[in-house]
Every structure is written in C-alpha cells, then in structure tokens.
Structure 1
C-alpha cells in the first residue's frame, strides 16, 4: 500500500462524502504581517489593535480573507489536489471574528457531482466549514471545482447539482462582527470618511490602483495557506497542460481585489458574506490586477444601529484599468480582461 497521498480524482467523490481535513493551523501575528506584506491591505480594524479596541474589539482581528485562505487551504489535499481550476463560490458566511493565536481546522461535505462532456474531468460541489479549536464555527461556504478523472473510461456518476442560494440574507449577517462604537470610529485614522449613508445603490467605484502579480509572491502566499494544488506549484506538470504554466490561486486574486477596494471603500472594514463568485479567466505571474465595485443593495441589520450592510459587486481585471467599469459584453459574456466577479456583503459604520 502506498504511503503517499495522490489526492482524490473525480471518480473518488460521492454525494454525502465527509472529509475531516489535516492539518489544524494556529494563525499568528506573523501570518497577519505576512498577509499585509503580500497584499498591502489597509483596513484600520485589521491593521491596528489600538483602533480596533477603541471601537469595541478586544484586539485587532485577522483579515477575513486570511481566515478564508487558511480554512480553504486545509481542504486542498482532499478536494483539489488534482484540480484543473476552482470555478466559483456561494453562500459563504463569516460567522465570527478570528484573532491571532487561535487554531483553525476544516471539515467538508460533498453535496454535488457532475461529469463534464469531455469525459476527462468533472465538477465537484463541496460545503466546507472552518472551526476554532473550541468548536466555534467561523466560516461556512460552498465551492465548486473542476477535477481530473484518473481513468477517462470510468462510468459517469448520476449528476447531482445542489440548489444554491442567490445571496445570503441580511438577517444572517448580524453576528459577523461585535457591536462597535460608531462615534469612536475615527475616519481620519481609518483613511476614509465615507460611511454607510454616503453610498447609493447603483453607484460604481473605480478603485484606480493596480498591482502586478509576482511569481515569488504567489508562491509564498499559497505556501502560507498550505495550499498544495499542483496547478499552482508544479511547473513540470503544468508545463504540459493547457496553459503551459502555473495558474495564480484564485484566492490570491480575491485578496488583491479586496486590498485595491480600500481606495473607495476604506470603511467597509469587514466581509460578512460572499454571496457568490466566479473566476472568469486565469491569471498568471506578470499580469497587473485592477478592480472596481458597484453598490448592488443596502441593508439594515436586525438589532444593529452601528453598522449597515453594503451588497457590492467586486470585479477584477487583468492588464485593463477599470475607469470604464469592464463587466459583461451586452449580457453575452464577460468582457476581455475580466478575471473575477464577486458578490459580497460588506459591513460599514453608520
């Protein structure tokens, strides 16, 4: 019996399959600092314990996407080691703040499978949940991923496609962050003075700045999250694939776009939910990422008068500035250069 892990192929998955993933990970101040070095995120609550304590946090929490990446990374050896690409997300809820020194682990359940028409790959739908060591759920999300078949001649399973929510209800967002003292929230220190009431549904914001993806940074980031997917790491195998080179991890693109969104949404300090998302096109080292946002909706949160929910479409492009807000080509498909389409609930002080 082999003592190494080749990863699961498409035919290894079945609906109802439960995977308790190795390895629990204690996330430290060092991880938080390295995350900032990789993406340059500037949101004050996650940058300054003094700022966070002033508005009601016990200390500065970890960046929401750092939590997402660590929980996601745990799942890779079991779910996407043999992936062609991660395709999308739905129903992602950030359930509680996570602080440096806390330990995260992940459990996943397969909720759908569908073989592709080429007979060489299939799509696997999984619900993954992240936990703190005391059992507190901190993150819950669905993703779907295209996975290679080990044997193209193996029979296709009966297709099961889960019914996924279009968006997370605002009623489910209220516990995502503690009650804050909105009067103590200092816009000068936060680097932004626009609050919840200053944004209008339909408003579009070009985040202006761009960041070029470096091979070394991408490799460092995926190692930080212990993401071992071959498509990101192994140039020997990927050099023989359809692109001839390694893909940038989709979560890396999300973190870049989120960091860029500070310029225009600087007080949207917390991601409460990812309603849905699509990695529209691959990204490679050397590409420059730009981003823009559209305010899709605004919501009062039950029992909360300190923060409100902004539903935001966050779009990222490569090698294409976003002054003209690139998105879809008259509804027929995404415009050239668009690489990410993400639907978020963000919390912002009132």
Structure 2
C-alpha cells in the first residue's frame, strides 16, 4: 500500500465535502521580510509598526495578500495538486488582521462540481477559510479550478454549478477593530492622493515594470508551501504543454498589487476580492506591468475619515499602458499580453 499522497482527482470530490487541510502555519517577521523581498511592496501600513500604530493597530499587520497566499497554499495538496488551471476567484473577504506569531489553519468546502465535455477534466468549486489561533476568520474566498480525472471512464460526481456573487457588498466589508485613519500621514505613506481624489471610470497606469526571475517565483512557491507540480517541477512540466514551469497565479497578483503603489499608494488595505481570473500563462523572464480602473466608490458608514474603492487591476506581460483593448476581435478571448483581470476592494483614507 502506498503511503504517498497523489492528490484528489475530479471524481474524488463530492458536493458538501469538508476538507481540513494539513500543516497549520505560524506567521513570522521573516515572512513579512520575504514578502517585501519578493514583491517590493511599499505600503506603509504593512511596512512600519509605528505607522500602523498611528492608525490604531497594535503593530504592522501581514500584507493581506500574504495571508491569502498562506491560506491558498494549504489547499493545494487536497484541491489542486492535479489541477490543469486555476480558473477564478469570487466572494473573498478579509477579516482579522494577521500579525507575527499568529497561526493560520485552513479548511475548504466543496460547493460545486461540473465535468467538462472532454470527460478528462472537471471544474471544482471550493470555499476556503483561514482562521487564526483564536478561531477568527482572516481570509474567506471562493475559487474554482480545473482538475484532471484519474480515469476518464469514471462516473462523474453529482453536478452543481454554484451561484457566485458579482462583488462583496459595501455593507459586508470588515473594518478591523480600532482602525482609525485620523492621523494617517500622506508624506510617510508616499502619496498625496486620497479617496476624494479618485473618480469612477478613472484609469491609472502604474508605469513601472518588474521582470520575473526563476529563483524568485520558485522561492515564492516554496514559501507559500504550494505543491502544485505545474509550478515547481521542471522535470515533468518540461514534457508538458508549455515545456516549462508556470508562474503561480498568486505571484502575479502580488506583483501587480505592489506595482499599483505608484498611483494608489494610499490604498493601504485590501478588504475584499470580488472576482478575478488568470487569463494567460506567465513564465520566468516575463516582465509584468499593471494598470487599474476605479469601478465604484463607497463611503463607510460612521467613518468620516475612511472610504473604499472597488478597483479593477489588470496585469500585462511584456507590454505596458492602459490604452489598448483587452479582448480580441471575437470579444471573448483576451489579448495574449493580459495575464490577470482582478476585481478587488481597498480601504483608503478620506480628507
């Protein structure tokens, strides 16, 4: 009897299945430093304990996307070890801030299944939740992933495609207790532009580019304990469709978010992931650029110094600028330069 884990295949999943993921992860200051080293994020709220204390926090919290990566990584051995592609995200909420010393544990529930017409793969929908040692939710989100079948002749599990929310409602945004931007310092934050300065429909070209190095994306994949073969095993992936390892999609999200600092430097905290898709693959050697569009503006009830922006973050490879059409002439396929189409909500100080 084999003692190794070959991962779940499509026919192994069932609607309502609860999965407790292994390897709880205690976050350290080293994780914070490595996140900065990998992505170059410059948001003062996550970089300076004193800045965060001036905003009412006990110290600088872990970057929200780093918390997302920790939770995501735990799910891979059980959900997407045999994945062909991670297809999208929806309904993501960030709860309790994560600090060095907190331990994150993750569970998932299967909320949808649909076999593909080729009978070789199927789409698995899961809601994954990370909690800290106090049982407080830190990240909760839905994702769907295309997973191989072990046996193409195996009967497919019962089919259910869940109704997915278009966005997280403004009323459902979770504001960390104690957060107060009354003393928020624009100079230390690195941007004079607050919530009041942005308009719906505005596009912001973040200008800067960042080239992905082989060593960096491999370090990131290991840091988040993401065991998906497509990201780390050149021996197997060299024989596959692309002939090389794919970059972990979350790596692109964090790179694009870090690049967005130039133009959105006061978007200091992510409150929600409304939706998102990795629409084209990326590889080591590609240079990532990004631009954002303001989709909506929300006032936060009872918070005169705090507002929220719903943003569309688009990442491009080897091409810059926000002045071209994302879709090809067929209106369905994305331009090959587009690698990420990400819809999220951020908190921002008001005047």
- Say if 1:194 and 1:5 are closer, same or farther in 2 by CA, change over 3 A: same
Q: 2: distance between equivalents of 1:180 and 1:102?
A: 19
TM-score (norm 2): 0.97
Are 1:98 and 2:98 matched, yes or no? yes
Q: 2: distance between equivalents of 1:332 and 1:12?
A: 32
The residue number in structure 2 matching 1:38 is 38
Q: 2: distance between equivalents of 1:196 and 1:275?
A: 19
Q: 2: distance between equivalents of 1:165 and 1:219?
A: 33
Residue 146 of structure 1 aligns to a residue in which SS? strand
Q: How many correspondences in the alignment?
A: 349
The residue number in structure 1 matching 2:254 is 255
8 Å CA contact 1:280–1:340 kept in 2: the answer is yes
Are 1:205 and 2:207 matched, yes or no? no
Residue 110 of structure 1 aligns to a residue in which SS? strand
8 Å CA contact 2:120–2:152 kept in 1: the answer is yes
- Listed one character per residue, the Cα deviations across residues 70-99 of structure 1 (whole Å, up to 9, x for unaligned) are 011011110011111111000000012111
The residue number in structure 2 matching 1:299 is 298
- Superposed, which structure 2 residues align to 1:162-181 within 5 Å? 162-173=162-173, 175-181=174-180
Q: 1: distance between equivalents of 2:288 and 2:175?
A: 28
8 Å CA contact 1:208–1:263 kept in 2: the answer is yes
Superposed CA RMSD in Å reads 1.2
Q: 2: distance between equivalents of 1:300 and 1:325?
A: 31
Are 1:334 and 2:329 matched, yes or no? no
- Listed one character per residue, the Cα deviations across residues 190-211 of structure 1 (whole Å, up to 9, x for unaligned) are 0001000000000000000000
- Superposed, which structure 2 residues align to 1:100-179 within 5 Å? 100-173=100-173, 175-179=174-178
8 Å CA contact 2:90–2:275 kept in 1: the answer is yes
The Cα of 1:303 is off from its aligned counterpart by 2.7
Are 1:287 and 2:286 matched, yes or no? yes
The Cα of 1:319 is off from its aligned counterpart by 0.5
The Cα of 1:139 is off from its aligned counterpart by 0.9
8 Å CA contact 2:280–2:336 kept in 1: the answer is no
- Listed one character per residue, the Cα deviations across residues 140-160 of structure 1 (whole Å, up to 9, x for unaligned) are 100000111111111223321
The residue number in structure 1 matching 2:9 is 9
The residue number in structure 2 matching 1:24 is 24
Residue 182 of structure 2 aligns to a residue in which SS? helix
Structure 1: runs of 5 or more not aligned: none
8 Å CA contact 2:273–2:343 kept in 1: the answer is yes
The residue number in structure 2 matching 1:54 is 54
Structure 2: runs of 5 or more not aligned: none
- Listed one character per residue, the Cα deviations across residues 284-333 of structure 1 (whole Å, up to 9, x for unaligned) are 11101000000000011223223111000000010111242552346443
Q: 2: distance between equivalents of 1:163 and 1:42?
A: 36
8 Å CA contact 2:311–2:344 kept in 1: the answer is yes
Residue 108 of structure 1 aligns to a residue in which SS? strand
